[in-house]
């Protein structure tokens, strides 16, 4: 079995028969309107997946949180392929998947199923009191992947017993345990009754608790360690605090949680002892990510349209820029710049928002050179953006892909 980290909680598995399982795809759509992929998946990895024969790939979705299911992508490129989901007691999640991806849905429970050379089992997890989050075990050959997604809490005795009944027949070094780890909600960052010091303390307490739980689970499952994806998302928070989440919280998880290795997009989940997180991050950084790839294509398409339509296109130099915040932007007299946060651009790229969400709606800011009249350029850019939005809705964010 080959296991590749795509991003966040998303893994791509390949078996000896050449069949693939893509788990929890979350590629470009914002989750909860504010979360974006950070780091974004490698563009080549996603393009390779999109170009796979559809009879060779199945989708596994662990639960219904937006950061585990990219409906805009699945609806356009994976409609009516095999979808595997947990067997929940109610049909709400099933109906959501059916609307997004069609009726080829198989529900999986703790008795397991055989599917295209895999044996796949699902267990209700620990992440919520009503059991709406799950773990998957995926077996093939001499290897088992335990995909625990958001279940970093201390596992109860019954769950540990059920999991060990499945994983116990595999050698310790062939048990690949992959799990989320981090703060995956707005508490306490978005709660106004906490000042920055209290907020930091609460976040520290949560990280310490979760890290301890993951280390306990590593021992209970008798695995070499946990490959973790420590909250690989960025959040456009409404409250601006003097807290650097990336350095203060995420890196602490990576540094302080023993027996864990941090995954980055493109990483191969294989030998735990020899896996080098820093080397993998450098390899990731040297490749183009999906967000930059799609924003660049969006800009190039707009530029080509302006070149065709504008009476003097050289007078309308423009740029699309994603920013984390608007607080430190400086005026630029050389070109018009459309600034927005990554979640706004992502919604534009999937066709949910129009470019006018920035220029009219105020979901961004604009730099206009003082002495330059941009009326004609702005007009044609808006016309193009409506055409582009409609095309994205018809063909999808990546356009035509070889089926």
Q: Are residues 177 and 54 in the same domain?
A: yes
Whether 270 and 385 share a structural domain: no
Q: Are residues 303 and 265 in the same domain?
A: no
Nearest Cα neighbor of 7 from 267, 249, 360 is: 267
Handedness of CA 14, 16, 19, 24 (dihedral sign): negative
Last residue of a domain, one of 270, 285, 300: 285
Whether residue 403 lies inside any domain: the answer is no
Orientation angle between helical segments 290-309 and 43-50, nearest 10 degrees:
80
Q: Are residues 345 and 199 in the same domain?
A: no
Q: 79 is written with which tokens?
A: 């409609």
Asked whether residue 169 is assigned to any structural domain, the reply reads yes
Q: Which residue range forms the structural domain that includes residue 328? A: 290-395
Q: Verify that 373 and 359 share a domain, yes or no.
A: yes
Q: Residue 309: is it exposed, middle or buried by C-beta count within 10 angstroms (0-12/13-18/19+)? A: middle
241 with 376, same domain: the answer is no
Is residue 189 domain-shared with residue 259, that is, in the same domain? yes
User: Is 210 contained in some domain?
Assistant: yes
Helices (H), 235-374: 245, 251-256, 277-285, 290-309, 342-349, 356-359
Dmax over CA atoms of the chain, in Å, equals 73
Let me know whether 313 and 220 are in one domain: no
- Residue 21: inside a domain: yes
Which domain CATH number covers 130?
Answer: 3.60.15.10
Assigned domain for 239 exists = yes
181 within some domain:
yes
Q: Are 376 and 310 in contact (CB under 8 A)?
A: yes
The answer to whether residues 41 and 9 touch, using CB atoms and an 8 Å cutoff, is no
Residues 262 and 359 in one domain: no
Cβ atoms of 30 and 347 within 8 Å: the answer is: yes
Residues 129 and 21 in one domain: yes
pTM for this prediction: 0.95
Helical residues (DSSP H) of 13-152, grouped into ranges: 43-50, 71-77, 92-101
Give the containing element (helix H, strand E) for 206: helix 196-221
84-128 pLDDT, tens per residue?
999 998 899 999 999 999 999 999 999 999 999 999 999 998 766
Long-range contacts for 77-80 (Cβ within 8 Å, ≥24 apart)?
77/50, 77/396, 77/398, 77/401, 78/54, 80/104
pLDDT of residue 133: 86
Q: Which residues pair with 336 in a beta bridge?
A: 318
Pair (211, 192) in one structural domain: yes
Domain total in the chain: 2
Of 238, 116, 228, 233, the closest CA to residue 180 belongs to 228
Q: CA geometry: angle at 12 spanning 37 and 181, to 5°?
A: 50
Question: What pLDDT does residue 319 have?
Answer: 97
3-state SS record for 110-148: CCCEEECCEEEEEEECCCCCCCCCEEEEEEECCEEEEEC
Q: What is the pLDDT of residue 244?
A: 78
Residue ranges in the chain whose pLDDT is less than 70: 127-131, 246, 402-403
Query: Within 10 A of 361 (CB to CB), how many other CB atoms are there?
Result: 12
In-domain check, residue 400: no
Domain closes at, from 244, 264, 285: 285
Residue 366 lies in a domain: yes
- Round to whole Å and give the CA distance between 268 and 13: 10
Q: Is 6 found in the same domain as 133?
A: yes
Give the domain-ending residue among 263, 285, 307: 285
């Amino acid at each position: 079995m080959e296991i590749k980290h795509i991003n966040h909680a998303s893994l791509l598995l390949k078996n000896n028969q050449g069949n693939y399982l893509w788990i929890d795809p979350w590629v470009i759509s914002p989750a909860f309107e504010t979360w974006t992929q950070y780091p974004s998946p490698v563009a080549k990895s996603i393009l390779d997946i999109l170009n796979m024969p559809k009879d060779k790939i199945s989708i596994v979705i662990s639960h219904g949180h937006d950061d585990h299911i990219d409906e805009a992508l699945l609806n356009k490129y994976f409609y009516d392929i095999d979808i595997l989901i947990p067997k929940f007691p109610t049909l709400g999640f099933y109906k959501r998947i059916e609307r997004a991806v069609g009726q080829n849905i198989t529900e999986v429970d703790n008795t397991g199923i055989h599917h295209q050379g895999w044996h796949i089992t699902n267990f209700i997890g620990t992440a919520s009191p009503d059991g709406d989050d799950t773990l998957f075990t995926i077996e093939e050959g001499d290897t088992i992947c335990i995909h625990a997604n958001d279940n970093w809490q201390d596992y109860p005795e019954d769950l540990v017993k059920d999991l060990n009944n499945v994983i116990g027949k595999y050698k310790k070094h062939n048990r690949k345990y992959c799990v989320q780890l981090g703060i995956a909600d707005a508490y306490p960052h978005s709660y106004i009754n906490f000042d920055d010091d209290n907020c930091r303390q609460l976040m520290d307490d949560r990280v310490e608790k979760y890290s301890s739980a993951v280390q306990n689970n590593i021992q209970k499952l008798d695995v070499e360690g946990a490959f973790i994806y420590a909250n690989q998302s960025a959040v456009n928070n409404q409250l601006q605090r003097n807290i650097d989440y990336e350095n203060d919280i995420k890196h602490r998880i990576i540094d302080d949680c023993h027996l864990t290795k941090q995954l980055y997009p493109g990483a191969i989940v294989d030998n735990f002892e020899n896996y080098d997180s820093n080397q993998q991050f450098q390899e990731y950084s040297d490749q183009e990510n999906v967000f930059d790839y799609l924003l660049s294509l969006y800009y190039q398409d707009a530029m080509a349209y302006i070149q065709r339509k504008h009476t003097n296109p050289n007078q309308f130099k423009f740029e699309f820029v994603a920013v984390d915040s608007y607080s430190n932007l400086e005026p630029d007299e050389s070109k018009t710049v459309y600034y927005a946060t990554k979640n706004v651009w992502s919604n534009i790229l999937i066709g949910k928002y129009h470019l006018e969400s920035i220029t009219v709606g105020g979901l961004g800011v604009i730099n206009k050179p003082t002495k330059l009249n941009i009326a004609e350029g702005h007009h044609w850019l808006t016309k193009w953006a409506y055409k582009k939005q409609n095309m994205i809705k018809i063909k999808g964010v990546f356009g035509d892909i070889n089926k």
